[in-house]
Structures are given as structure tokens and as C-alpha cells.
Amino acid sequence: MPNWRAVGIGFIVLFVAGALATGVPIVGHVGAGLIGGVAAGYVAGGGITSGAVHGLLAGSIAGFAVAVIFALGVGVIGVAAGGPFGGLLGFSGVVIGGVIIALIMALDSALGGALGALLAA
């Protein structure tokens, strides 16, 4: 059973760091994922596997949330600038990129979660 408090703390750290990391595309999101995963794993404790699971949960949820928020924003701007087709292209492009970012954040968050659980022990 997941410790949802640990996942929530990891989510908040990942969400804030992920939103700030959009200016530094790949390196920023990898760093955000590691930091948030360490936070989730540290709070969860319980060994490497537990930390990795909690980091993975926090990373995947935060990656999805960041992707949806940015996709909605770009979709609105796309509608204003290019009409419905521009909004559709902007939204779908960001969703595809967001899925990639969510995968990156989930994988390195799992690694960070395992590290955080080791630090808690």
C-alpha cells in the first residue's frame, strides 16, 4: 500500500520543479525528477523498492499534471493565434512532448526514490 503522503510531497516537489524546468528542456526535467523522487523516497522510507515505487508514482502523476496544464495553455494560445486548427496542433504537440516528459520524470523519479529511501535508512 503506497504512502500517499510521501507521493504527495514528491508530487509537489516534482510539479514545482517540473514547471520551472521547462526553460531547460531535458536536463531540467531529469533534475526535477531526481529531486522529487528523492523527496518521495525519503519520506516513504522502507527500503529501495518502496522508495522506487513511491518515486515512480510521484513522477508519473506530476509529469502528467505538468503536461496537461501546458497543453491546455498552448491550446488556448493556438486557438487565439491560429483558430481551431492551430489550437489542435498546439495541444496535440504538447501532449506528445508531455508524454515523453512524464516518462522521463517517472523513470528518474524511481531512481531518485530508491536513493531517497537509502538516505532515510
The 10s digit of each residue's pLDDT in 40-82 is 999 998 899 999 999 999 998 888 887 888 888 888 888 888 8
- Residues 6 or more apart whose CB falls under 8 angstroms from that of 111 comprise 34, 37, 52, 55
Which residue, 105, 121, 117, 120, is CA-closest to 57? 105
Q: What is the pLDDT of residue 91?
A: 87
The total number of residues written for the chain in this structure: 121
Query: Domain extents for the chain?
Result: 4-120
Q: What is the pLDDT of residue 26?
A: 67
Q: How confident is the model at residue 16 (pLDDT cuts 50, 70, 90)?
A: confident
> Quick check: pTM over 0.75?
yes
Q: Does 24 score more than 80 pLDDT?
A: no
The 10s digit of each residue's pLDDT in 77-116 is 888 888 888 888 888 888 888 888 788 778 999 999 999 9
